[in-house]
Amino acid sequence: MATSLDPVLRDQLLYRRQTLQTSLTESPSSAQLADLLQQVDQALERMDHGTYGLCEVCHESVEVERLAADPLTSFCLDHLPPVAQRALERDLQLARQIQGGLLPRPESALGGWQVSYHYQPAGLVSGDYCDLVDGGARGLYFMLGDVSGKGIAAAMLMANLHALFRALISGGLALGELVSQASRAFCETTLATHYATLVCGRALASGEVEICNAGHLPPLHIHAGKVTELPSTGLPLGMFCSQEFTLTRINLQAGDGLLLYTDGLTEAEDGSGEFYGPERLQRLVAGHCAAAPKALVSACLQDLDAFRRAAVLRDDLTLMAVNRVS
Ligand SMILES: [Zn+2]
């Protein structure tokens, strides 16, 4: 395999070879060092023969990111030896636990607001972003988003967003400025192929809510027994380094609410490939206008289960209900 990484990886391998040889002169009887040296030599041989980066089992290309992380890898993810597979599973389980630790409490009540959410990765980790931050006198911040892609890479970016927003919220910026700065930082630190859609809201004790929607699906606004969509007001986060975001302001009275969700909900499929869809969601929510957040989230999940029956969820799924209680 000829990749643009080859010269870099060759240099890395040569450097490792040199280091190993130095260590071996100091401990000539170390079987581990001898074994590593042999693996490095074999990798260099594969480079000379043009087979470097190909899986030993299927002869397809090994994932480039994995080669960059470990230049000695000679199996694709599908054909890892059992020991390596188990190590990878342990890593993933740990990543799942760490991601779970980044989530807010499932139920929160703060300053006249009540919030409930459901967070469900399609695999072990999720690329969805969901957080609540108590901003004190500045109100309650709620965030729900979706990083492009899936799996570990998306989960790492989700963790990055989590840290970014937490840091920026503590700085007391106006909401539009906060999202612009998060977008800039995300853009500068992320691969050009990755971005995130998200809704960031600030709910004040007065009932006023500011919402900034960066290319995400429209949140549903539940007011006086009716459900309407709040449109997107901006491009996804991190798509361009210099982006400005506008806000939508609404006033919520006691009993009013918002429902935020990722496309794992509306793009869930039934057995025949039909989408759950935003219309069905809107009808369902209209039938539960008076429900408390937890009950609304449960009703959505029950309806989704009834719709998809045995069909598997292919995408990460998150929904969050925010209610004005007083
Ligand atoms: Zn393979």
Q: Are strands 113-120 and 140-147 parallel, antiparallel or unpaired?
A: unpaired
Residue 320's φ and ψ, nearest 5 degrees, are: -140, 130
The Å distance, Cα 31 to ligand 1 centre, comes to 28
The Å distance, Cα 59 to ligand 1 centre, comes to 6
Instruction: Tell me the per-residue pLDDT of 132-155, one tens digit each, with 9 for 90 and over.
Output: 999 999 999 999 999 988 788 899
Residue 292 has pLDDT above 80, yes or no: yes
The Å distance, Cα 84 to ligand 1 centre, comes to 13
Radius of gyration of the chain (CA): 24
Instruction: Tell me the per-residue pLDDT of 28-73, one tens digit each, with 9 for 90 and over.
Output: 889 999 999 999 999 999 999 989 999 999 999 998 878 877 888 8
119 vs 314: which has the higher pLDDT: 119
The Å distance, Cα 55 to ligand 1 centre, comes to 5
Average pLDDT of the segment spanning 254-279:
95
Strand residue runs (E) in 73-154: 107-110, 113-120, 128-134, 140-147
- For residue 223, the surrounding DSSP H or E stretch is strand 220-223
DSSP 8-state secondary structure symbol assigned to residue 232: P
Report the distance separating Cα 110 and Cα 131, nearest Å. 14
Average pLDDT of the segment spanning 315-326:
94
Q: Which of 138, 116, 118 lies closest to 323 in space, CA to CA?
A: 116
Res. 3 pLDDT band, cuts 50 70 90: low
**Token digits of residue 213:** 């929607």
The Å distance, Cα 33 to ligand 1 centre, comes to 27
The answer for residues whose C-beta is within 8 angstroms of residue 203's C-beta and 6 or more apart is: 111, 113, 139, 140, 141, 142, 209, 252, 322, 324
Query: What is residue 5's predicted lDDT score, i.e. its pLDDT?
Result: 62
The Å distance, Cα 201 to ligand 1 centre, comes to 45
DSSP 8-state secondary structure symbol assigned to residue 39: H
Strand arrangement, sheet containing 220-223: 107-110, 113-120, 317-324, 257-261, 220-223, 226-229
Average pLDDT of the segment spanning 153-164:
93
pTM exceeds 0.85? no
- Provide the percentage of residues in the chain whose pLDDT is more than 70: 98
Other CB atoms within a 10 A radius of the CB of residue 282 amount to: 17
The Å distance, Cα 62 to ligand 1 centre, comes to 7
Query: What is residue 326's predicted lDDT score, i.e. its pLDDT?
Result: 78
Query: What is residue 128's predicted lDDT score, i.e. its pLDDT?
Result: 96
Report the distance separating Cα 294 and Cα 115, nearest Å. 8
Distance of CA 216 to the CA centre of its chain: 14
Distance of CA 126 to the CA centre of its chain: 5
The Å distance, Cα 297 to ligand 1 centre, comes to 41
**Token digits of residue 157:** 């970016």
The Å distance, Cα 127 to ligand 1 centre, comes to 26
Report the distance separating Cα 283 and Cα 260, nearest Å. 15
The Å distance, Cα 77 to ligand 1 centre, comes to 7
Mean of the per-residue pLDDT values for the chain? 92
